[in-house]
Structure 1
Amino acid sequence: MTITTTLKIKGMNCASCAGRVEKALSAVDGVTQASVNLATEMAAVTGDVPTQALEAAVLAAGYQLESSARQFAVKGMSCASCAGRVEKSLLKVSGVLAASVNLATEQVSLRLTNAVSDDSLAQAVANAGYELVLAPTVAETEIGAGHGPEAGGTAPNQLAFYQQDSWPVLGAALLTIPLVLPMFGLLFGVDWMLPAFWQWLLATPVQFYFGARFYQAGWHALKAKSGNMDLLVSIGTSAAYGLSLYLWHSFDGHHGAPHLYFESSAAVLTLVLLGKFLEKRAKKRTTDALQALENLKPTTATVWRDGSWYRVAAAALKQYDKVKVLPGERIPADGIVVNGSSHVDEALISGESIPLHKTVGDHLTGGAINLDGLLEFEAMAVGSESMLAKIIRLVEQAQGAKAPVQALVDKISNIFVPVVLLIALLTLLVWGLVLNDWTQGILHAVAVLVIACPCALGLATPAAIMAGTGTAARHGILVKDAVALEQATKIDYVVFDKTGTLTAGKPELLQLTAFAESQQTVLQMAYALSQHSEHPLAKAVVQYAQIQQVPLGEVSQFTVVAGKGVQAQFGERTVVLGSGHWMRELGLTLPTEQIQIPGASVSWLAETCAGQAKLLGLFCFADQAKPEAKAAVQKLQQRGIQVAMLTGDSQQSASYIAEQLGLDHVQAEVLPQGKAQAIADIQAQGFQVAMVGDGINDAPALAQADLGIAMATGTEVAVSAAAMTLMRGNPALVASALQLASATYRNIQQNLFWAFAFNIVGIPLAAMGMLNPVIAGAAMACSSVLVVTNALRLQRMSF
């Protein structure tokens, strides 16, 4: 069948680009025709080729595909084999670039081109034997209520999935207990077994009514030419049930009544149902952190419109709306306080346990609780652009991601069921043909089928990742993906930026020395240049000048010179304000003996004219280390990690802070482009490096590092470049993040050990006749519960 795939290409800017992309796509095996339209930036590719191969060709040509992320629930999965089959089926759909199934949440995360329809995705999942749940679109409506718009609409009220599964467990158990209890009489030489008819009557509903789900899922797996846990259970219990029927109906009445195995098939099904019930209850707890974040979203807001306050749906808020928040209400969007003051609880967002006082000009974060005062604020980020929405997306992304170790599990899962079926067949044949005991052969083959634990294998990694990233989010640590978790376990060298990371980032101007002008004139010039800069030192100059009530002068041709300072025209004069490094480049000799503040950050004011520079003034700033910084450094060093500082500040200022905190290494006067090279130099020495920063100038270094950690109190650029984000400006969270990552990865290894151990030990024991089917069923049920319960231990971690 000929398929035409439409792709949106990013990065093309000329006909040569279009030709290069077209050539790259045409070279992919299976492509019969490829055409690229530069005007629309679209490519049309004809041929039965996976979209992933097309994306690889575009990337190799130096361009990118435009894509979007979607997430759907999938019904009917029971083990790692199911998850793998859903992924494979979706990856065959034209336009699907990546698919990752999380068995613990029963969801699939997709990366798609814009041309993929929901129906094609649903059909692909249906072809694999499962159901894709297409999320309904909930319309946010406003209904007049006399005083203005009111939010309307309700979410569907559904029982939790583990509550929906309680009836089958209870029903199967009530029918199974009369079959199993008489077996205890055999321990005392008493035959309490029910007549064959009553055994059959009790076992049949368990087998075909309560166990119908296993037959349905197993049949879908067979139709998809694959296998899963349900197929193993249905084959195994059907064999025990069928053997019992055969022995019952072949009894001629001349010999002792045969032992039937209805209790084995019923008990195995009941135990597996119980195991899935307990597993789902435990799995639900792994999503508690994400659910807690979702619950922070307010449904309504009070907004000023048309001269009155109205109650509207929170989703209806727009940027720059004026919003009122009463005491006890949640803040419905990010914004800036314009009236009132109050204490605000941001514990579930940033992990900050102490309420923060907010007043006019302060920033508010949506989802936080207004505690004791009336606040009015201007909405700045609403809906999907709010900080809370971004946090939720990051947590979802991390919990849906696969750890690198999962690749091994996926490979094993692909062959797991066929191998188990082969072992069960060999067990039957050996016991039947070699040992001439077909009855025991069937029972031991059943035990092999039932003891196999593909569920535990599928849950081992995602359960731990969900619990670990959820715990991290609760403590104000956001993890971008599972790869970051693994990388964090290898870190042996941490590099901190200085300003705003190890220090408060709010320096104060403590010394002003004028050389060629009056102090008033020097301060006025510096004030005029600094008002246009966002640099912390510039803000300190502005604050000092305002306190001194210095008149603000006019400047023109203002320019920021990256890593050096600022330059502008002050009247007829060209004035520069910046670092000592820049002043020396301008040919100035600096009177450093005039610096009176130990460890100060220093800026110099100079005038340039006709290639000559003249020094006008000296500014000394103090930025003290954060109270938590020294303890943060010590915690890292106790873990055997070397700690360094990388800063563009002066050597004297950097050395002063480094001595205060007990840092192992320090590099000062490093330009932004030099920070990334400094990280590369450390990596060249064999270290695994984590970079911690908060500014735009830290972004290259964050990207270069093996692990980038950004302070959310800094810039959006830094956060985007990092693999981890600390919601509070507390450097102690760095050690906590590394500790949690190590605990999570250790938990994954433990889970995989137990998942493999159950199979490696259990299957041979079952094949040798050392496990009866009931014990095998109990072991299988326990394996999944054990894995998820072990993962939940991460939720008890505290820092």
Structure 2
Amino acid sequence: MTATTLELPIPGISCAACAGRVERALTALPGLTDIAVNPITRRASLRADGTALIDIDAALTQAGYPPDLTTTRLDIQGMSCASCSGRIQRVLSARPDVAEAQVNLVAGTAQVRHAPSLPPADLAGIVTKLGYPAAVHQDAAAPVVREDEAATLKRAFLTALALTLPVFVAEMGGHLVPAFHHWLHGLIGSTPLLWMQMILTALVLAGPGRRFFATGIPALLRGGPEMNSLVALGAGAAFLYSAVVVLAPGLIPETSRHVYFEAAAVIVTLILMGRWLEARAKGQAGAAIRALIELAPDRATVLKGGKPTQVAVADLRPGDLVLLAPGERVAVDGTVAEGEGHIDESMLTGEPIPAPKAPGDPVTGGTVNGTAALTYRVTATGADTTLSRIVRMVEGAQNARLPVQALVDRITRIFVPVVMGLAAVTFLLWLVFGPDLAHAVVAGVAVLIIACPCAMGLAVPVSIMVGTGRGAQLGVLFRRGEALQRLSNARLIGFDKTGTLTRGRPELVAVHTDGIAEDEALRLAAGAEARSEHPLGAAIVAGAVARGLDLPPAQDVKASAGRGLSGVVEGRRLLIGNLAALTENGIAPTPLLRDAAEKEATQGATPVHMAVDGRHVASFALADRARPEAQDTIATLHRMGLQTAMLSGDIPATAQAVGARLGIDDVQGGLMPGDKLAAIGRMGAGSVFVGDGINDAPALAAAETGIAIGSGTSIAIESADLVLMSGDLGGVPRAIRLSRAVMRNIRQNLFWAFAYNTALIPVAMGVLVPFGGPQLSPMLGAGAMALSSVCVVGNALRLRAVR
């Protein structure tokens, strides 16, 4: 790694002290010189000699000042095996101005985090120089590229097939039917027949098969051989040997003067067929992304000057009023302005029941209106819409590399060179101990062809692509692909209570007082809580409004996390919160109210106490009903062999009551935010935490796997590893089942890929021949190699049926 100058934007710098901390963090790293941090421009300039950008990124992030790196996605053509993707990834990652590169063989993409000073076009140029044409990704272009690739390969295969058939029939037909051999040679003659086979095979190699030589030979000369190199060497060796037999037979011993034009032509034709079928299957693997992209309509009807006008969806702007006809798709995100009806959101949330909509309710682009005419006001367009965010999240998950991929990378990095060495050893052994030169050539070519690492390279990413796409269809949105592997090892599922296991909408169910009228106590409490955003406070306000009470103004309202709030209402000092809040402020709880609150808590209600001017005068019981699917979800998780826990900030008695009703194994209540994080830390390996994705963000980030209960219109939940878009708790076991299915599918693929090569390479080398077994034909090797990749992709496609 050579020395290079880096310019890194660091948006967190706000003063000279920040700049000093950034400079100290950089100075602590070895290999960094010429460090200069400018607090005005919020940039750091430095010279790195042998220090990777990812280490610099980690050091600055740990110091609290993460650099603002650029993420570029590249569309790459010509990758055919794990050696191709591995080489591209190594070259990109080796650059000092690149922090991280992830190459996805199935999607034909690379995701690169790099310094902003490195132009994305330069990254594409680096990959193109390696022999793999690359371009900076344009939104929604990937599905078209995949379809174009399949169509191109189909044409190449059909052309090669038309040229190969005469060669194959002329050579193999004579072996199968001796009379046909004599008739054909008598009709055309032996020499013209050989010339015909040579010319047609040359056309196959120079035409449809040119792609193998154009990519494989340069890769071989650069010292990075890959699958195309194996095909080019194998088919090229078979053709050149046969051409020498035809053009200069005197150079070959008489006993070895056999031609293998049909092997060279069939090898190319079969591999092209395999790649065509593989490209078609890959296109099906990306069908979920394509279906999401196609959900958005092209045009919408906008009210302009009171008149409906058809406009392109790309021309919509926030604030526009859009008319939505019955059965029409919603163009972009918005809120209902007029009308009431139902909208089918199943394609985004997996929830089959249409959602009711009324003025003020959100609507999501891509969903389908029911039988009512609605008008909605646009709130988000373009890349800011929910649909666009979903597509980006799914694409990001599909580009991820699971930990299991590291094993595949280590093997495929050395696999092709080892195979070339084995082919050379095979050739020499057959040359020394075999009957003639021809058998040595056939054995060497068979080893080169049979040992393609395509199936290995496809085993993991194709399963990720299909699995995450299927998850999106089921309303399970994986934000990080590695969560697929971690979730499959889940052991303990922890839940937040309020808003997760319960509806999150507590209701006032009882008021207990001592020395004050119920309505007066509720009126005062509601006046103070009207200034609060806490859901319990909102329940008290709603209870007062339901009784028709007026809400007096409050002053000096202060909230304390996990305790409650204080304020002044009508000249009286109020303290509203739990018993701990009363005690900490030197207020003795009234036994009557304390006992009443404890009794309510045993029934699952949350007590909220109020003191007026230093005296405990009221206790409010607030109940948050459990979600209707919560009990079934917990039971399902238990049947799957998983333990469950509930971590709640609610008082222990209330938490225990809810937990007992739902059948949860371990219930912890009365947790402050810090206590909840500590509890998650104690859960250990295989821990999963499920929260509502808003106030649970720290807990979701701290868990090994965080699952956010979201909704189709609220997916900005950056702390979770995956989001249940419908808000249905049943998505938790659904996500775990999907994760287990994906990992099981990956293990099946890897077993097939490794077992295939382990078993067939020795057969191609001829280890069975001394025992009377067969010597593997290069043609059969080409067919088996193509079949292996198709089998791996086909097995992954079974994940589309997971329910």
Mapped partners of 1:264, 1:173: distance in 2: 13
Correspondence list, 1:584-733, <5 A: 584-586=583-585, 587-590=588-591, 591-595=593-597, 599-609=603-613, 613-683=614-684, 688-694=686-692, 696-713=694-711, 719-733=717-731
Asked if the contact 2:10/2:44 (under 8 Å) is kept, the reply is: yes
Amino acid at match of 2:175: L
Amino acid at match of 2:368: I
Match of 1:173 in 2: 161
Q: Gapped runs of 5+ residues in structure 2?
A: 186-192, 770-774
Asked if 1:69 corresponds to 2:58, the answer is no
Name the CA shift for 1:316/1:718 in 2 (closer, same or farther; >3 Å).
Answer: closer
Higher deviation after alignment, 524-533 or 350-359: 524-533
Asked if the contact 1:8/1:66 (under 8 Å) is kept, the reply is: yes
Match of 2:746 in 1: 748
Kindly state the Cα deviation for residue 35 of structure 1 after the two structures are TM-superposed: 1.9
Q: Deviations over 1:365-404 (max 9, x none)?
A: 2221112112222333333222222211111110001001
Asked if the contact 2:582/2:611 (under 8 Å) is kept, the reply is: no
Asked if 1:91 corresponds to 2:93, the answer is yes
Q: Deviations over 1:513-563 (max 9, x none)?
A: 332222221121222223233333323223332222211211122222211
Mapped partners of 2:672, 2:145: distance in 1: 57
Asked if the contact 2:34/2:47 (under 8 Å) is kept, the reply is: yes
Higher deviation after alignment, 737-746 or 175-184: 175-184
Higher deviation after alignment, 559-568 or 260-269: 559-568
Asked if the contact 1:320/1:380 (under 8 Å) is kept, the reply is: yes
Asked if the contact 2:579/2:609 (under 8 Å) is kept, the reply is: no
Q: Is the partner of 2:107 in helix, strand or coil?
A: coil
Q: 2:125 aligns with which of 119, 123, 126?
A: 123
Mapped partners of 2:560, 2:25: distance in 1: 40
Higher deviation after alignment, 534-543 or 751-760: 534-543
Match of 2:400 in 1: 401
Mapped partners of 2:430, 2:575: distance in 1: 91
Asked if 1:294 corresponds to 2:283, the answer is no
Mapped partners of 1:756, 1:257: distance in 2: 34
Name the CA shift for 1:223/1:633 in 2 (closer, same or farther; >3 Å).
Answer: same
Asked if the contact 1:279/1:785 (under 8 Å) is kept, the reply is: yes
Higher deviation after alignment, 121-130 or 632-641: 121-130
Q: Is the partner of 1:697 in helix, strand or coil?
A: coil
Match of 1:232 in 2: 230
Correspondence list, 1:136-215, <5 A: 160-181=148-169, 183=172, 185-187=174-176, 189-190=178-179, 192=181, 195-215=193-213
Kindly state the Cα deviation for residue 780 of structure 1 after the two structures are TM-superposed: 0.7
Kindly state the Cα deviation for residue 472 of structure 1 after the two structures are TM-superposed: 0.9
Name the CA shift for 1:156/1:399 in 2 (closer, same or farther; >3 Å).
Answer: closer
Mapped partners of 1:715, 1:677: distance in 2: 31
Kindly state the Cα deviation for residue 304 of structure 1 after the two structures are TM-superposed: 4.0
Q: Is the partner of 2:549 in helix, strand or coil?
A: coil
Q: Is the partner of 2:7 in helix, strand or coil?
A: strand
Mapped partners of 2:520, 2:275: distance in 1: 77
Q: Deviations over 1:174-212 (max 9, x none)?
A: 222233345255245556376212222332211211111
Asked if 1:344 corresponds to 2:343, the answer is yes
Mapped partners of 2:778, 2:124: distance in 1: 37
Match of 1:80 in 2: 82
Q: Is the partner of 2:331 in helix, strand or coil?
A: coil
Q: Is the partner of 2:695 in helix, strand or coil?
A: helix
Mapped partners of 1:411, 1:644: distance in 2: 39
What TM-score do the two structures reach when normalised by structure 2?
Answer: 0.91
Kindly state the Cα deviation for residue 470 of structure 1 after the two structures are TM-superposed: 0.8
Amino acid at match of 1:794: L
Question: Alignment RMSD, CA only?
Answer: 2.7
Match of 2:241 in 1: 243
Asked if the contact 1:702/1:718 (under 8 Å) is kept, the reply is: no
Asked if the contact 2:256/2:437 (under 8 Å) is kept, the reply is: no
Q: 1:221 aligns with which of 219, 222, 226?
A: 219
Asked if 1:552 corresponds to 2:554, the answer is no
Name the CA shift for 1:355/1:30 in 2 (closer, same or farther; >3 Å).
Answer: same
Asked if 1:572 corresponds to 2:577, the answer is no
Amino acid at match of 1:246: V
Q: Deviations over 1:77-112 (max 9, x none)?
A: 111111122223323445322111111010111113
Mapped partners of 1:654, 1:48: distance in 2: 56
Kindly state the Cα deviation for residue 55 of structure 1 after the two structures are TM-superposed: 2.8
Asked if the contact 1:251/1:257 (under 8 Å) is kept, the reply is: no
Amino acid at match of 2:636: K
Q: Is the partner of 1:404 in helix, strand or coil?
A: coil
Match of 1:535 in 2: 534
Amino acid at match of 2:158: L
Q: Is the partner of 2:641 in helix, strand or coil?
A: coil
Q: Is the partner of 1:471 in helix, strand or coil?
A: helix
Amino acid at match of 2:539: A
Match of 1:782 in 2: 787
Mapped partners of 2:48, 2:674: distance in 1: 44
Higher deviation after alignment, 163-172 or 89-98: 89-98
Q: Deviations over 1:705-757 (max 9, x none)?
A: 21111101499799322111111222121111111111111111111111112
Match of 2:772 in 1: none
Kindly state the Cα deviation for residue 271 of structure 1 after the two structures are TM-superposed: 0.4
Mapped partners of 1:43, 1:633: distance in 2: 51
Higher deviation after alignment, 365-374 or 55-64: 55-64
Match of 1:147 in 2: none
Q: Deviations over 1:319-353 (max 9, x none)?
A: 34333322222222323222111210111111111
Amino acid at match of 2:366: G
Q: Is the partner of 1:207 in helix, strand or coil?
A: helix
Q: Deviations over 1:348-369 (max 9, x none)?
A: 1111111111111222122211
Q: Deviations over 1:634-666 (max 9, x none)?
A: 111112111111212233322222222211121
Kindly state the Cα deviation for residue 256 of structure 1 after the two structures are TM-superposed: 9.3
Q: Deviations over 1:230-277 (max 9, x none)?
A: 111011001111111122334579989954211111111100000000
Mapped partners of 1:662, 1:470: distance in 2: 33
Asked if the contact 1:696/1:717 (under 8 Å) is kept, the reply is: no
Asked if the contact 1:93/1:121 (under 8 Å) is kept, the reply is: no
Name the CA shift for 1:190/1:424 in 2 (closer, same or farther; >3 Å).
Answer: farther
Higher deviation after alignment, 249-258 or 763-772: 249-258
Q: Is the partner of 1:720 in helix, strand or coil?
A: coil
Kindly state the Cα deviation for residue 53 of structure 1 after the two structures are TM-superposed: 4.4
Q: Is the partner of 2:727 in helix, strand or coil?
A: coil
Mapped partners of 2:693, 2:782: distance in 1: 56
Q: Is the partner of 1:247 in helix, strand or coil?
A: helix
Q: 2:108 aligns with which of 103, 106, 109?
A: 106
Q: Deviations over 1:653-683 (max 9, x none)?
A: 2222222221112112222221111222333
Mapped partners of 2:517, 2:20: distance in 1: 64
Q: Deviations over 1:22-76 (max 9, x none)?
A: 4554565654523221211112223555433443453465532112322121112
Higher deviation after alignment, 540-549 or 235-244: 540-549
Asked if the contact 1:710/1:718 (under 8 Å) is kept, the reply is: no
Asked if the contact 2:330/2:366 (under 8 Å) is kept, the reply is: yes
Mapped partners of 2:670, 2:689: distance in 1: 17
Mapped partners of 1:57, 1:534: distance in 2: 37
Q: Is the partner of 2:468 in helix, strand or coil?
A: helix
Mapped partners of 1:305, 1:157: distance in 2: 38
